[in-house]
Structure 1
Amino acid sequence: MSPDYLYLIVGLIFVTVIGFDIYNWSRGHSFVAPEVRIKRLWSKLNYSVLILGVTALVTAILLNVNVLSYRRPMAYALVKTITLKDFRGFKMPNETLDGGNEFAFITTSIEWDREGDQVVVNALFHPSRSYVYNNRTGDGFLLQHELYHFHVTEYFARLCRQELSGRSTPPASAEIAAIIKKNRLQERRVQYRYDDEAYHGVILQKQKQWEQKVDSLLSSVKAFENPKVGYN
Structure 2
Amino acid sequence: MYTFTLFLSLWARILLPLLFPDAAEASEKKTAAPVVESIIVDQVSWSVNRRLSWEDFRGRPDDDNPHHALTAANLAVNANCKDQGFTYQVNCVFLPTESWSKNKKSEKLLEHEQLHFDLTEVHARLLRRELQQLNCSTLKDKLSGTVNNAFKRWKAEQDTFDTASKHGLNAESERAWAANISQRLKALEAYK
TM-score with structure 1 setting the length? 0.57
Tell me which residue corresponds to 1:165: 132
Distance verdict in 2 for CA 1:187–1:167, change over 3 Å: closer
Q: Write the distance in 2 (CA, Å) between the matches of 1:221 and 1:170.
A: 26
Is 1:200–2:167 an aligned residue pair? yes
State the Cα RMSD in Å: 2.6
Q: Displacement, 1:123?
A: 1.1
The equivalent residue for 2:189 is: 222
Hey, what's the Cα distance between the residues in 2 that align with 1:112 and 1:156? 12
Give the CA deviation at 1:96: 2.9
- Look up the equivalent residue of 2:165 and give its one-letter code: A
May I ask how many residue pairs the two structures share in their alignment?
151
Partner Cα separation in structure 2 for residue 79 and residue 126 of structure 1:
18
2:100 matches 1:131: yes
Instruction: Give the Cα–Cα distance (whole angstroms) in 2 for the partners of residues 88 and 155 of structure 1.
Output: 24
Question: After the TM superposition, which residues 1-232 of structure 1 pair with which residues of structure 2 at under 5 Å, given as runs?
Answer: 72-77=42-47, 80-97=50-67, 103-114=68-79, 117=85, 118-134=87-103, 137-166=104-133, 169=136, 172=139, 175-225=142-192
Q: CA deviation at 1:210?
A: 0.5
More helix by share: 1
Structure 2: 5+ residue stretches without partners: 1-37
Q: Give % identity.
A: 21
Higher CA-based Rg: 1
Task: Flag as ranges the 4+ runs of structure 1 deviating above 6 A.
Answer: none
Residue type of the alignment partner of 1:177? S
Residue 122 of structure 1: how far off its partner (Å)? 0.9
Higher percent of residues as strand: 2
CA contact (8 A) 1:96 1:133 kept: no
**How many Å separate the matches in 2 of 1:207 and 1:155?**
16
* Higher relative contact order (CA closer than 8 Å, sequence separation 6+): 2
Q: Which amino acid aligns with 1:87?
A: F
Once the two structures are TM-superposed, the CA of residue 178 in structure 1 deviates from its matched residue by 2.4
Unaligned stretches of 5+ residues in structure 1: 1-64, 98-102, 226-232
Q: Is the 8 A contact 1:109 1:125 kept in 2?
A: yes
